[in-house]
Amino acid sequence: MITVMKFGGTSVGSPEALKRAAKIILRGDGSKIVIASAMSGITNFLVNGAENLPGSRDHMIEEFEKKHIDVANQVLGKGQMEDFMKEFNARMEKFRNLLNDENALKDPYYKDNITSQGERFSTLILSYALRAAGAKSVALTSEDCGIIADGRPLSGSADLQKTEAMMELKVKPYIADGVIPVITGFYGIKSDGLPLTFGRGGSDYSAAVVANAMNVDLLEIWTDVDGFMSADPRIIPDAVKIDEMNFGEAAELAYFGAKVLHPRTIEPVRMKHIPLKVKNSFKPEEPGTIIHHLRKQMDGLLMSVAIKTDLSIISISSAEIAYHPEMVARIIEKIAENEVVIYSISTSLSTVAFLVHSNDVKSILSKLNTLDPGDIERIEVKNEVALVCAVGDNLLSKCGVSGDIFTAVKEAKANVEMISEGASDVSLNFVVPMSRATDVVKTLHRKYVRGGSNEGL
């Protein structure tokens, strides 16, 4: 059995956390492949530094080096530190050269290279911690493994086929020799060999890519929460952990607000039917949440309710826009130029509406203003709305589900601003004013999750 184990920033963010992670990795039987994020706070540090180069260069090097050496000294013994420092210094030399390369600043992918440096050092410390515990381990970068990526700066995607071919050659021999590879998360490499990151939180996705490439038996995501919850515990104090989910449910919740997994984590493992577990590295004895293809039928109407806030609706009106698909295509193309995430789309005869993050509204409007003024009659923006994602079994095939859910919305004294139903059989998504969103979630959770009720069905 081969298991990919991914550890997030808080799970490798301190000497104690690193030692705990090493113990978790060495528990149980079978072969292990480890993916690690940068230590907590390091990626933000690098992002801020990259924004202020070259002025921040010396401070970045000094603080970055001190942080990692201090942690390593608390994790490793004197003998291990001597060997560790040889590899550490080699990696630091490459980092210094990168920061001192004035020509590299002009590369549009330069920030990918800077912000992916944290993973190179967290994995090195964790690999040496495993060695100190008596295991055979090697620290590998994405370059070493051949995790192939393409895409725009700071927003890459893995080429799963090429990655599988490369990892078969570069990583599989370590597994055969009983060595635990500890691999950098968060980024892959472009065709020119330079880093391309997968977006913030992309180490989850990296782990799924490795699991796919190595055709493993299980992917474990070790984080600082017990698993997927029936709602955000900060909103619903009596939210309960979800023991079991299918891939579709987990993907919907991750995309529409649950901050347990990066939304792109699901697809690489779903393609090969690889089960995924979400577990708490601070409570390793807890079972967590298992995500796979099939699960037993649930009793209640809803499994979980997630919420995404700070959104806006942009409505674009033009005479009979429904009969001019080329105009809708141009509008979407303009929005896509800035790689904006569209959470929902709604159309009528003369209007098309997009749900986007409020931070993207200004850039979207500037792009839309470049369209032919004769094509568009008006553009309206409704701010301060929130998306509610209600997830449950076969929602489309159950008569009266929408009525029950929107009755609860009415009880919460909220108006539905936009609806997305039918795109997924496991979720019903709708938009309400942000001022009423918390009340809507509380009402739905009380009636149809914690209550386990099938009222009205």
For residue range 290-343, list pLDDT tens digits in order.
999 877 776 678 999 999 999 999 999 988 888 888 888 989 999 888 778 899
Residue 411 phi/psi, 5-degree rounding, is -60, -35
Average per-residue pLDDT for the chain: 92
Residue 244 phi/psi, 5-degree rounding, is -145, 140
Check whether 455 has a pLDDT greater than 50: no
pLDDT at position 454 is 42
Query: Scanning the structure block, which residue is given the tokens 């909103």?
Result: 235
Dist. CA 354–CA 42, nearest whole Å: 35
Check whether 457 has a pLDDT greater than 50: no
pLDDT tens digits, one per residue of 80-119: 999 999 999 999 999 999 999 988 888 999 999 999 999 9
Q: Are 262 and 206 in contact (CB under 8 A)?
A: no
* Maximal CA-CA distance, the chain: 75
pLDDT at position 453 is 45
pLDDT tens digits, one per residue of 190-222: 999 999 999 988 999 999 999 999 999 999 999
pLDDT tens digits, one per residue of 13-50: 999 999 999 999 999 899 999 999 999 999 999 999 99
pLDDT at position 186 is 97
Dist. CA 384–CA 389, nearest whole Å: 17
pLDDT at position 295 is 72
pLDDT tens digits, one per residue of 244-287: 999 988 998 888 877 889 989 999 999 999 999 999 999 999 99
pLDDT tens digits, one per residue of 349-400: 999 999 999 999 999 999 998 888 877 889 999 999 999 999 987 777 677 8
Closest alpha carbon to 317 in 375, 382, 383, 385: 375
pLDDT at position 373 is 80
Q: Which structural domains are found in the chain, ordered by start?
A: 2-224 (3.40.1160.10), 304-449 (3.30.2130.10)
Q: What is the DSSP letter of 449?
A: I
Q: Are 96 and 88 in contact (CB under 8 A)?
A: no
Q: Are 209 and 271 in contact (CB under 8 A)?
A: no
pTM of the model: 0.90
pLDDT at position 423 is 62
pLDDT confidence tier of residue 133, bands split at 50, 70 and 90: very high
pLDDT at position 300 is 73
pLDDT at position 395 is 76
**CB hemisphere CA count around 5 (13 angstroms):** 28
pLDDT at position 299 is 67
Measured between alpha carbons, how far apart are the two ends of the chain, in Å? 44
Beta-bridged to residue 424, according to DSSP, are none
pLDDT at position 422 is 55
pLDDT at position 207 is 98
Dist. CA 254–CA 275, nearest whole Å: 16
Helix, strand, coil tally for the chain in percent (to 5): 45, 25, 35
3-state secondary structure 220-278: EEEECCCCCECCCCCCCCCCCECCEEEHHHHHHHHHCCCCCCCHHHHHHHHCCCCCEEE
